[in-house]
Amino acid sequence: MERALLEQGVILAAGWKRRAEYLSIHPRDLTVLDKPQGITLSDSEFLDLQSARSEEACQWWEKQVDEYLQYWTARLKVFEEKQSRLLNAVEKGRLTPARANQRAQRFNRQYEHARMQIQLCKDLAACLQGDHSLPLPVLPLCQYSVSNHTHSRNWMSASSALKKSQSSILSRITGRFVAGSLSFHSLSITDRTALVLSLLLSALIAAGGCMYAFRGEKIAITVKAIDRGEYEVSFSNTSPKTLALILPYNGGGLEKSIPPPLGVTVELLDKKKNLPLNQSIESLWYYRDKSAYLKGPVLLSPFSQEVLSLRLDRDEIEKTGASEQLQIRLTIFRAPNRKSKSYTFPLSSDSIRPKE
């Protein structure tokens, strides 16, 4: 509601100013509908008055747009803080990936709404400065003043709720700051020093956590044996980014893009020597009962999990000899061909726990 009232008021004021400027340049286009009945002013005096009042209206609406912009800029910072706290909660294990994903989606919607409100304020400010990319109303000149009075009054009553909520937030923050300042100054020098050092240590830990959270693409793998040569592989995305799994991946070039691509290779290892065998093995990945190769990259949403099927050629496994001496290694690569993480697990086992 506030957005519609603000947009209507700004467009009306900009249209009033443009109409007054046009008639000041072309006074012959002034009609009897543009002047109210019974007015004693001459045409030039009436146009000068309308130009001055339309300019005042535009300045008043510019102030309202600026206040609205400040409100949503503050809200945007609040949503960014919520996203940071959510990430911290996931890192400490207080939230499951599924629950965190739900909250992240809600915060993203709120963040996007705030960003759209900020963009609207910028567009309205440009409109008041003369950028008439928005459609402006064309009314008889005398009706602009009446309509502007109605819209400004409606806007003031609607925006009062926003100002009250913003002032209450600021008062709570100010009160807490004053109380904290008084408590700090009441401490002894030793206690102050200990408190400052603990705050600095907390800040360093938080900074390190943020660097760990936002650096690279973090992914975890769990494997479950279904049959000989067939496995169920779960990929868990524990980062706030959407990732793209390239399956199968032959070790070729990976270009940096959005979402970040991650290639997964499959190798057979000699368990004793911990070295890959010379011969390659054919690996088939299936995603939701279809070949992953045909579907293209498998997208992993933030804090989500996808389950894929890995099938190895049994005949090629038999050719290698004693299968109990073999291991499978899954290696994740990120652009540009940088080895990120490797997992190994036995070829023949019912209960598999991958080792990094």
SS3 255: coil
Residue in 223, 219, 220, 217 with CA at minimum distance from that of residue 328: 223
What confidence score (pLDDT) does residue 337 get?
62
DSSP string, 86-130: HHHHHHTTSS-HHHHHHHHHHHHHHHHHHHHHHHHHHHHHHHHTT
Low-confidence ranges of the chain (pLDDT < 70): 1, 132-134, 161-188, 191-192, 207-217, 271-280, 292-296, 319-325, 336-337, 339, 348-356
The answer as to whether 352 is a domain residue is no
What confidence score (pLDDT) does residue 268 get?
79
Question: What is the domain extent for residue 90?
Answer: 2-178
The answer as to whether 125 is a domain residue is yes
The answer as to whether 339 is a domain residue is yes
Q: How many separate domains does the chain show?
A: 3
What confidence score (pLDDT) does residue 173 get?
47
18 and 89 share a domain?
yes
What confidence score (pLDDT) does residue 274 get?
59
The answer as to whether 341 is a domain residue is yes
291 and 330 share a domain?
yes
Residues 343 and 349 sit within 8 Å (Cβ to Cβ): no
19 and 151 share a domain?
yes
174 and 89 share a domain?
yes
Strand partners, 284: 311
16 and 101 share a domain?
yes
> Per the structure block, which two tokens stand in for 40?
């004693």
165 and 118 share a domain?
yes
238 and 142 share a domain?
no
204 and 232 share a domain?
no
The answer as to whether 354 is a domain residue is no
Residues 97 and 220 sit within 8 Å (Cβ to Cβ): no
What confidence score (pLDDT) does residue 178 get?
42
12 and 34 share a domain?
yes
The answer as to whether 122 is a domain residue is yes
What confidence score (pLDDT) does residue 181 get?
52
276 and 207 share a domain?
no
CATH of residue 258: 2.60.40.10
269 and 191 share a domain?
no
93 and 174 share a domain?
yes
Residues 101 and 146 sit within 8 Å (Cβ to Cβ): no
The answer as to whether 353 is a domain residue is no
DSSP 29: G
The answer as to whether 355 is a domain residue is no
